[in-house]
A and B are shown apart, each in its own frame.
Chain A
Amino acid sequence: MSALFPLVVEAAKTTRRGKVLAGPVDLRFEAEGTTVVIGPNGAGKTSLLRMLHGTARLSGGRISWACGTEEARHHQAFVFQRPIMLRRSVEENLIYPLRIRGIDRAEAREKAHQWAQRVGLAGMMDRAAPSLSGGEQQKLALARALITDPKVVFLDEPCASLDGRAMREIEEVLMTARTGGTRLIMSTHDMGQARRLADDVIFLLHGKVHECADAANFFLTPRTQQGRAFLRGDIVE
């Protein structure tokens, strides 16, 4: 299998009815690590992730994976800000991505059980996924994204409605995935989480990359005034 990275983004932007949702951005992603996208509400975090993932139409610029786009799509997964549950049982949700890849049922179920264990849903395999609580749905969505061993996972605020303990569990899962070589690109509003997980930080403002830096540097000494204000928790215009 050829490598997906580096991922090179050149002047890419996505628009909707003439309004720019995100971009134009120039970025480069290497094969390792976790990139955390931060920024105020409406900054375009979701739009940027969707654009990189290929589900938001590119209306300018280029996004080039080291391999072909089709192959790259095959090795990606996306965890949505609002979890989307298939109207099926938890187990059926988990095996779905495996089944569409042609993996047989027995093998898929075995993997589903491992993953349910890992995210703490083992006792709920037969529950209807839409009837799970918000936090449980988020865990399920995460497990469903990771179950195919993707090379890249986009996570759009994966811990938004989780309590402290669930968040720690999820972060552990994410760190394990990262250690296993999965490239993580995630957005978050939780600066604590950003500090814990990030290798690089992208600070978005008004759809543009306002600051893009090494996590250690960014959190210690943000280069821009808005970056400093955002970290302080001030309102950033």
Chain B
Amino acid sequence: MVDLWSGLSQAFWLVVTLDAELLEIALRSLRVTLSALVVACLIALPLAGLLAVRRFRLRRAVIAMLNALMGLPPVVVGLVVYVFLSRSGPLGVLGLLFTPTAMIIAQVVIIVPLIASIAHQSLRELWQEYHDLLISMNVTQGQKIRTLLWDARRALLTAALAGFGRAIGEVGAIMIVGGNIDHATRVLTTAIALETGKGDFGLALALGFVLIGLAITVNIAIHWLSRTEREGNW
């Protein structure tokens, strides 16, 4: 109990004084996850749109695969990415292993299925509503997808936030491909794991608070932005 209290107060001071190391780690976490989120959205949202409006042969298979991938344990994703990026792997020449880029790749793989599945769900509903009109207007495939993505943007934001939450809190995969190297690939979650292992609860707790705070702040900020954008009811 004493441990915990001293940890809490230490955590408090680390946060309040904007401890340099803490800041560095938190910012890296944010940078890695936001990068992964942007890349993942660029892949997942058009994919979800395509799955909603087009009846191609592999459609069912792709949807089944997305659902299966959604349940994939991150550690396994980390392992696979590791194999691909390792010196002797197919992408070994790029020398990406144990860099933030490797962590971004792993997070992208983890959250693309999640974002695509949630997005597809809402786009499919909207498409049922719009179907007759857009077919009647003879719009192109690309215009259909763009129209759906734009008009479902609120639901897509929720999908993106779910992806963000999953990515920023993920530890298994990025531990494997990033290696938790100080000043290089250490992020909030891997640092927490490390500090807890070492018994340094103060730093671990501080990191934990920052992680929670970060996740909440990003959620609130994005929701607030989207609410003020327009006072519609959709």
* Most chain B beta-carbon contacts within 10 A, residue among A55, A86, A130: A86
Per DSSP, chain A at the interface is mixed
Q: Does A84 lie within 8 Å of B135, measured CB to CB?
A: no
B151 touches A128 (CB 8 A): no
Tell me which residues from 180 to 211 in chain A have a Cβ below 8 Å from any Cβ of chain B. none
Q: Is A33 an interface residue (CB 8 A)?
A: no
Judged by a CB distance under 8 angstroms, whether A80 is at the interface is yes
Chain B 116-130: CB-based contact to A (< 8 A → 1; otherwise 0): 000000000010011
Give A64-90 as 1s and 0s: 1 = Cβ < 8 Å from B's Cβ atoms: 000000000110111010001011100
Tell me, yes or no, whether A109 is within 8 Å of chain B by CB: no
B93 → A minimal CB distance (Å): 44
12 A-B pairs besides A73-B138, A87-B126 with CB distance below 8 A are: A55-B132, A74-B138, A78-B136, A80-B136, A84-B129, A84-B132, A86-B130, A86-B133, A87-B232, A96-B137, A128-B232, A130-B234
14 pairs, A vs B, C-beta closer than 8 Å: A55-B132, A77-B136, A77-B137, A78-B136, A84-B129, A86-B130, A86-B133, A86-B147, A87-B126, A87-B151, A96-B137, A97-B137, A100-B137, A128-B233
The yes or no answer to B6 lying at the interface (CB within 8 A) is no
Q: Is B72 an interface residue (CB 8 A)?
A: no
B130 partner, pick from A53, A73, A84, A128, beta carbons under 8 A: A84
- Size of the A side of the interface (Cβ < 8 Å), in residues, is 18
A55 touches B232 (CB 8 A): no
- Determine the chain B residues whose CB is within 8 A of the CB of A80 once the complex forms: 132-133, 136
- Asked whether B232 lies within 8 Å of A86 as measured between CB atoms, the reply is no
Inter-chain contact B136/A55, CB cutoff 8 Å:
yes
Question: Would A86 and B136 be within 8 Å (CB), given that A100-B143, A128-B233 are in contact?
Answer: no
Q: Is the CB of B151 within 8 A of A88?
A: yes
B222 in contact (CB, < 8 A): no
Output the nearest chain A residue to B136 by Cβ-Cβ distance: A78
Asked whether any CB of chain A lies closer than 8 Å to the CB of B139, the reply is yes
Task: Provide the residues of chain A in CB contact with B126, threshold 8 Å.
Answer: 87
Q: Which residues from chain B contact A74 at a C-beta distance below 8 Å?
A: 138
- State whether the Cβ of A176 lies closer than 8 Å to any Cβ in chain B: no
Report the Cα distance A216→B140, complex, angstroms: 42
| A217 contacts across to B, CB distance below 8 A | none
Determine if A100 and B139 form an interchain contact, defined as CB atoms under 8 angstroms apart. Answer: yes
Which A residues are CB-close (under 8 A) to B136? 53, 55, 76-78, 80
Of chain A, the residue at the smallest CB distance from B146 is A100
Interchain nearest-CB distance for B234 vs A (Å) = 4
Q: Which of A143-165 contact B (CB under 8 A)?
A: none
Q: Which residues of B contact A128 (CB under 8 A)?
A: 232-234
Q: With A55-B132, A84-B129, A88-B151 as known contacts, state yes or no: A130 contacts B139, CB within 8 Å.
A: no
When chains A and B are docked, how far (Å) is the Cα of A88 from the Cα of B234?
Answer: 9
Instruction: Flag whether A224 is at the interface (Cβ < 8 A).
Output: no
Q: How far is the CA of A55 from the CA of B132 in the complex (A)?
A: 8
Q: Which chain A positions have C-beta within 8 A of B147?
A: 86, 96
Interface centre among A80, A87, A96, A97 (most CB of B within 10 A): A87
**B220-234 CB contact bits vs A (8 Å, 1 = yes)?**
000000000000111
* Cβ–Cβ < 8 Å partners of A96 in chain B: 137, 147
List of A residues within 8 angstroms of B143 by Cβ: 100
Chain A residues contacting B137 (CB-CB under 8 Å) are: 77, 96-97, 100
